[in-house]
């Protein structure tokens, strides 16, 4: 048995035979000299190949837009722009006439130069744009060399898909009913592959480096999308263990599925709203299937991860409208663009910062890029006509930032009125409480908004001064730290005193033990990944609000996260399961 470790990007466990999809493997590119009299012919071959590649991409764009929405079709719009880029054509022409070598070799060398420059950048997301360059040039070369590409849509048996890279077109085209898991050498949590794998609920482990090359067709592969473990040709004992785990998860999911349609109501009759967090519109099916009462956090960053220019107002309007309409009257909270820090987006100019997590990010960035912010705000406002939409501003640290964000929203409303574009005039406006300064003055901020949503991922990070992306101190990122619980209680109390609702959209909300404490503290709404909804709903239904209040009071009295964890484990052992 061989074991590899990668980045877990989509949860679940899958066992199956490997299908080594090596279409992105470097083909043998012919290299030979041409005469000056042959140059025009070589250039004509290039033009024909580019036109055929554009036909391919246009067909993929239309299919993606038809099956998955306009926002995914936009991936291929960017590819078409690159195929039509006059600078690319000029560079290829100059290289062809300067080297007197065949056009296949010229295209190959041009690709290698672009890839080398991108891979030399420090930003991992910009590095991932090499996939798009590869997709485009491979299409041109295939037409030049009359090479047919195998399509993943032709898969006829269940497989674990193993690749060095998956091109955007491969992810769109693949037969998703046959792909039981994805293992890839490249990629990370923000890559197209990761985003789509989560949306399709396909277990995935990316970032294996070169380890994926050791996996051959037919190898039995175990993929653990929770831990990032990939086991090849496991022994009987390991295979049996994972089969048991997979069966236990399947049984647990089946049992939980019966809870999905039930209300999140405590034993003494208190109703609690449990919503879902999503990254892409395709997740709305999962939200509804798992019994969420709405979307508590719609991360809008996915639109800005496409290569090429930032998404237009119309592209955003189409994406937001699609989600709002799919939710059929259930509330949808759209968070305005949250970039910077550890979330760098290509084509948005970020300055080099020594401490980006405390720098130019989220609402700070949006307030400085007026055009980008106004486009997004108008798109959300216009989409609000299709259902129950809300706007939420991230990383508000004080009243000055909040006032500026609200003023920007009023400006967007005025522009919509001027254009004659309908929108919901009383659209609810909220903020994420994820900075300690905001938590400390929650009473002031509560008078300016309609709701709070506590973002514990960052609130914990900033309260305890621990970089959650640093594995050396990750153990300190502790949601049951007494300081975190006290801040959460203060935000809830201040929100209620002002008459507004308080929700939580951080990972803490999906922990069943934490759910009991949060319920006891008076949290109104929980929001989490869709697959976690039934589990938390079961927890809410297993306890009374009165008992949860007693549990929360005792947790607040204890002096360390270890004491709190130990207390909860004993107190809730018979009522709450953490899976």
Q: Do 372 and 364 form a contact (C-beta atoms < 8 A)?
A: no
**Nearest-angstrom CA–CA distance, 196 and 337:** 19
For the four alpha carbons of 479, 485, 488 and 492, in that order, the dihedral sign comes to positive
In angstroms, how far apart are the furthest CA atoms of the chain? 88
Which pair of structure tokens corresponds to residue 304? 């800005």
Number of H helices, E strands in the chain: 22, 16
404: three-class secondary structure by DSSP: helix
Whether 140 and 49 have beta carbons less than 8 Å apart is answered as yes
Q: How many residues does the chain have?
A: 579
Q: What tokens were used for 356?
A: 């980006």
Cα→Cα distances 246→15, 215, 242, 329, Å: 9, 22, 6, 35
Q: Please report how the helices 456-464 and 482-497 are oriented relative to each other, as an axis angle in degrees rounded to 10.
A: 130
Give me the residues paired with residue 266 across strands: none
Q: Is 213 helix (H, G, I), strand (E, B) or coil?
A: helix
Please state, in angstroms and rounded to a whole number, the distance separating the CA atoms of residues 225 and 220.
Answer: 16
Task: Tell me how far apart the alpha carbons of residues 538 and 109 are, in angstroms, rounded to a whole number.
Answer: 58
15 - beta bridge partners?
Answer: 222
CA atoms within 13 A on the CB side of 118: 20
Q: What is d(CA 95, CA 110) in angstroms, rounded to the nearest whole number? A: 9
Q: Of the residues 192, 290, 386, 481, which is catalytic?
A: 192
**Among residues 366, 477, 505, 561, which one is catalytic?**
505
**340 has which bridge partners?**
343
3-class SS of residue 201? coil
Rounded to 5 degrees, φ, ψ at 542 are: -95, 0
Q: Cα–Cα distance between 55 and 120 in angstroms, integer?
A: 32
CB 511 within 8 A of CB 490: no
Please say if 192 is a catalytic residue: yes
DSSP-derived 3-state class of residue 435:
coil
Query: What's phi and psi for 534, nearest 5 deg?
Result: -60, -35
448 vs 478: CA distance, rounded Å: 30
Q: Quick check: is 416 catalytic?
A: no
3-class SS letters over 276-333: EEECCHHHHHHHHHCCCCCEEEEEHHHHHHCCCCCCCHHHHHHHHHHHHHHCCCCCEE
Helix, strand and coil percent figures for the chain, each rounded to 5: 55, 15, 35
Q: Is 40 exposed, middle or buried (0-12, 13-18, 19+ CB in 10 A)?
A: exposed
Task: Mention every residue, 6+ apart, whose C-beta is less than 8 A from residue 75.
Answer: 61, 64, 132, 168, 172, 192, 306, 307
Contact assessment for residue 542 and residue 576, using Cβ atoms and an 8 Å cutoff: yes
Catalytic residues: 192, 505
């Amino acid at each position: 048995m061989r074991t590899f470790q990668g980045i877990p990007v989509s949860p679940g466990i899958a066992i199956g035979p490997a299908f080594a999809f090596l279409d992105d493997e470097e083909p043998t590119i012919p290299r030979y000299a041409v005469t000056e009299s042959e140059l025009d012919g070589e250039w004509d071959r290039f033009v024909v190949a580019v036109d055929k590649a554009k036909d391919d991409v246009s067909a993929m764009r239309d299919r993606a837009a038809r099956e998955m929405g306009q926002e995914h079709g936009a991936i291929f719009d960017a590819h078409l722009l690159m195929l039509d880029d006059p600078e690319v054509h000029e560079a290829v022409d100059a290289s062809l006439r300067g080297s007197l070598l065949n056009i296949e070799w010229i295209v190959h060398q041009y690709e290698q130069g672009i890839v080398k420059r991108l891979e030399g950048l420090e930003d991992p997301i910009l590095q991932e744009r090499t996939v798009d360059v590869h997709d485009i040039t491979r299409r041109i070369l295939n037409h030049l060399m009359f090479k047919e590409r195998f399509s993943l849509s032709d898969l006829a048996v269940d497989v674990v898909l193993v690749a060095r890279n998956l091109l955007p077109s491969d992810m769109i085209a693949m037969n998703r009913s046959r792909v039981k898991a994805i293992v890839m050498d490249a990629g990370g949590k923000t890559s197209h592959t990761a985003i789509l794998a989560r949306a399709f609920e396909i277990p995935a482990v990316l970032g294996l480096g070169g380890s994926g090359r050791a996996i051959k067709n037919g190898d039995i592969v175990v993929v653990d999308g929770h831990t990032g473990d990939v086991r090849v040709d496991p022994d009987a004992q390991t295979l049996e263990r994972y089969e048991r785990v997979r069966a236990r998860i399947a049984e647990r999911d089946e049992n939980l599925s019966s809870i999905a349609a039930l209300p999140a109501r405590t034993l003494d009759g208190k109703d609690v709203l449990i919503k879902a967090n999503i990254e892409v519109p395709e997740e709305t099916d999962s939200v509804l299937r798992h019994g969420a009462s709405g979307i508590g956090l719609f991360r809008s960053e996915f639109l800005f991860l496409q290569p090429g220019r930032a998404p237009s107002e119309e592209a955003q309007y189409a994406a937001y409208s699609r989600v709002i309409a799919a939710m059929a009257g259930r509330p949808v909270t759209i968070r305005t663009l949250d970039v910077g820090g550890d979330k760098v987006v290509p084509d948005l100019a970020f300055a080099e910062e020594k401490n980006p997590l405390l720098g130019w990010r989220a609402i700070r960035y949006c307030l400085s890029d007026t055009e980008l912010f106004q486009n997004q705000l108008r798109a959300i406002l216009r989409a609000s006509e299709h259902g129950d939409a809300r706007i939420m501003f991230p990383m508000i640290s004080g009243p000055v930032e909040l006032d500026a964000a609200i003023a920007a929203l009023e400006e967007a409303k005025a522009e919509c009125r001027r254009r004659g574009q309908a929108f919901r005039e009383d659209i609810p406006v909220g903020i994420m409480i994820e900075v300690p300064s905001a938590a400390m003055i929650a009473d002031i901020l509560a008078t300016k908004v309609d709701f709070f949503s506590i973002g514990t991922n960052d609130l914990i990070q900033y309260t305890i001064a621990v970089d959650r992306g640093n594995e050396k101190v990750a153990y300190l990122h502790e949601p049951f730290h007494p300081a975190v619980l006290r801040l959460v209680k203060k935000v809830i109390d201040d929100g209620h005193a002002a008459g507004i609702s308080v929700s939580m959209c951080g990972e803490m909300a999906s922990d069943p033990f934490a759910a009991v404490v949060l319920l006891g503290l008076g949290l109104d709404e929980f929001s989490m990944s869709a697959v976690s909804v039934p589990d938390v709903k079961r927890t809410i239904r297993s306890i009374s609000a009165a008992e949860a209040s007693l549990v929360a009071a005792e947790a607040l009295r204890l002096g360390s996260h270890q004491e709190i964890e130990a207390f909860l484990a004993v107190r809730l052992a018979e009522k709450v399961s953490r899976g």
